[in-house]
Amino acid sequence: MSDAELAASLGFRSEYADVNGTRLHYVIGGAGDPLVLMGGWPHTWWEFHKVMRPLAEHYRVIVVDIRGMGASAKPETGYDKKTMARDIHELVRSLGYERVDVAGTDIGAMVAHSLAANHPDVVGRLALLDIPHPEESLYALTMLPQDHQPFLWWFAFNQLTDLPQILLEGRVRPLIDHLCDMMLVDKDAISDADREIYTRAYDSPDAIRASNGWYQTFGQDIRDEKTYAPLTLPVLGIASEDNPFLEPALRKQTAGFRFERITGAGHYLVEEKPDEVVAHLVKFFG
């Protein structure tokens, strides 16, 4: 199924916008105050498909394929989160909104934080799921696995140029399966059909290169983060059961925040515990 067909199956509409020198794909539906959702690697807007309809009962929901993701353009540059935040700022303005609420997970959470830091006029409330904006503690991650420590091997793999495209083109599905099986408590929470959608989205050299770009710009993101004052808008952090990163980062990166932890789930919270995610977001956004 195409993005348009998938969106229509949820009662949403697939659209495009030319912003900040690139082209973004987004899916829109529902009625009410605008709520922007952004996902991460290796997913697309479809990551939110379980929560879109219930959220659309309360909000005008806009789910964005961030720069380099899914049906959005995959330019050679611009994958630092500050540039990607400007993409979203211009998209919001092109849709006629002065202010939106924003929720992001994984790479989308990094972009969401940068949007609030660089364009505070456009963000009313901010929800970050499982991942904070890159900051200097990333340099302390180890290359070898240790007991009771996260082993984020793909952070290093995605730093490579050219080799990921050579290794993964035509072979993305095993990577999708590996990450799902590693990061889900309920391995069936992301179905075979869902995994095929993500496989098709990433199974090209340009898509692989673009997703590498999200990680290759972490150094610039860390330098940018050092220039940001703590966020003063309302912030909600939602973390998986064993996540050690989000709460400490929010203590440094915000003037105050609410924090919720979802038990019995891994990193892909939106797909594994959609009802709990919706409940937390509706309570926070109002």
87, 229 contact by CB (below 8 A): no
The Cβ of residue 40 has, within 10 Å, a number of other Cβ atoms equal to: 25
Active site residue 267: yes
Residue 101 annotated in active site? no
Among residues 245, 242, 240, the alpha carbon closest in space to that of 270 is found at 240
CA–CA separation, 221 vs 190, rounded Å? 30
- Among 111, 79, 107, CA closest to 220: 79
Task: Note whether 34 and 100 are within 8 A (CB).
Answer: yes
Annotated catalytic residue 33: no
Look up residue 247 and give its amino acid: E
How crowded is the C-beta side of 100, counted as CA atoms within 13 Å? 27
Catalytic hit among 215, 221, 224, 268: 215
Out of 65, 106, 194, 224, pick the active-site residue.
106
Single out the catalytic residue among 25, 113, 133, 267.
Answer: 267
Half-sphere exposure of 29 (CA within 13 A, CB side): 21
Q: Is the peptide bond before 42 cis (omega within 30 degrees of 0)?
A: yes
Q: What is the residue type of 215?
A: Y
Which residues carry out catalysis?
A: 106, 215, 267
